[in-house]
Amino acid sequence: MTVSYRQPGVVLTDRHFTVPLDHDDPAGETIELYAREVVASDKAQQELPWLVYLQGGPGFGANRFVGKGAWLGRALKEFRVLLLDQRGTGHSTPANRQTLPLRGGPAEQADYLTHFRADSIVRDCEAIRRQVTGGAPWTVLGQSFGGFCTVNYLSTAPEGLTAAVITGGLPSLDAHADDVYRAAYPRIERKVAAHYARYPQDVERARRIADHLLAHDVVLPNGYRLTAEAFQSLGILLGGSEGSHRLHYLLEHAFVRTPRGMELSDAFQEEVQGLLSYASHPLYALVHEAIYGQDARPTAWSAERVRAEFPQFDAAKTLAGDGPLLFTGETIHPWMFDCDPALRPLRETAELIAARTDWKPLYDSARLAANEVPVAAAVYHDDMYVDTAHSLATARAIRGLRTWVTDEFEHDGVRAGGPRVLDHLLALTRDEV
């Protein structure tokens, strides 16, 4: 059933679609997709071109805007916007610890999750585009992992696109996950150094918290086991525009005096569990490294293995000396499936995904070299989540792609920059700047 309703300045419509789980088997099992159509109130009766938004992740549903927040207001000046909950996320058929056992055991769950990468998401887009636009091509806006999906779109179905806009999401076309994380850890270290330069008082605070966690078994109210490594993973905040400030405010109220001595405060624990839990987005943990799989090489817990090449991230070794504790960033580790109650039942499934050796290529270099779709990409200088050098190499490999390289924004520039980022990138696709 299609339902429309209003928020300030916009009309929203719930859209539901049925697509094959495996697009190579269109007569087989199906799953449901949800998307929210958004149009400006004063344009609700007009024929407008479409823009489909592909969220970052993997594993996150589309943004739940209220009104015309962030980039949406700019888009609504000329488009109807489709905010797609990619398969397995949001209001689409979910994939989590509660639903995946319906598939069977870990082997069946792992097989199922191979259909949740960029290639399947793009084929979903093509399947629903015909229903939404009547077959007309649309513009795609891909943020972060949504940009990875967009490059796959350009590789496999460019006829479906009028233009493509990518923000912080130009992937390497051929890097293994190991290459991605070898490039990532030095970037993460730079972000941590910048944080401590801004907030030098946090050096001692972070060391004190990690030292407490090495000496105590701390279980958060939701059952999450907070280890020193888990605490370090809060560094993922440092890739966002306000992340350094959020981390600082979190650290400043970590401890409280109790009859048993100093303990981690309830307020600190409550905020940390919200930041670390994967209950709302388990696919992020399950298939994150799989988004880099393109050949017979397993990802094999790449971030964990590569971290061993950077001993400065070892909390125990750091605390044995007097150096600053290094946080980590957008990395998934096997211990997360022990610490997080939302992931524990999926540990064996995750192991099987990490061991897979049958990943299919996601990008077609020859087709990208012959690209005719207008494309523009924002590349954020020293982006913590996506390597700048990898992004620029890919930009050179896509015919006609125009880049906007900037250090004005972090990875979330399309949100933090309001209408400016989308406005500039759309102008680039039209040769207006």
Q: Within this chain, do residues 340 and 314 fall inside the same structural domain, yes or no? A: yes
Q: Within this chain, do residues 159 and 258 fall inside the same structural domain, yes or no? A: no
pTM confidence score: 0.97
pLDDT tens for each residue of 201-217: 999 999 999 999 999 99
pLDDT tens for each residue of 270-301: 999 999 999 999 999 999 999 999 999 999 99
Per-residue model confidence (pLDDT) at position 267: 97
Give Cα 432 distance to the centre of its chain.
Answer: 30
* Helix ranges (DSSP H) in 1-105: 72-75
Q: Within this chain, do residues 96 and 224 fall inside the same structural domain, yes or no? A: no
- Hey, is 308 helix, strand or coil? coil
41 given a catalytic annotation: no
Q: What is the DSSP letter of 328?
A: -
Q: Within this chain, do residues 267 and 283 fall inside the same structural domain, yes or no? A: yes
- Assign residue 9 a region: left if phi > 0, alpha if psi is -120 to 50, beta otherwise? left
Q: Within this chain, do residues 168 and 49 fall inside the same structural domain, yes or no? A: yes
Cβ contact 28:253 at 8 Å:
no
Answer whether residue 384 shows pLDDT above 80: yes
How many domains are contained in the chain?
2
391 given a catalytic annotation: no
pLDDT tens for each residue of 113-157: 999 999 999 999 999 999 999 999 999 999 999 999 999 999 999
133-165 burial code (b ≥16 CB/10 A, e <16): beeebbbbbbbbbbbbbbbbbbbbebebbbbbb
Last residue of a domain, one of 319, 354, 389: 354
- Active-site residue, selected from the candidate residues 25, 217, 358, 431: 358
- In the chain, pLDDT over 70 holds for what percent of residues? 100
Q: Within this chain, do residues 293 and 280 fall inside the same structural domain, yes or no? A: yes
Task: Name the residue range of residue 129's domain.
Answer: 3-174+363-429
The mean predicted confidence, pLDDT, of the chain is 97
Summarize the confidence of residues 318-347 as an average pLDDT. 97
pLDDT tens for each residue of 15-24: 999 999 999 9
265 given a catalytic annotation: no
- Active-site residue, selected from the candidate residues 115, 390, 411, 424: 411
Summarize the confidence of residues 86-100 as an average pLDDT. 98
Q: Within this chain, do residues 67 and 168 fall inside the same structural domain, yes or no? A: yes
* Helix ranges (DSSP H) in 177-287: 177-198, 201-215, 228-232, 243-251, 266-276, 282-287
* Helix ranges (DSSP H) in 341-419: 347-354, 365-369, 388-397, 413-416
- Active-site residue, selected from the candidate residues 92, 144, 172, 277: 144
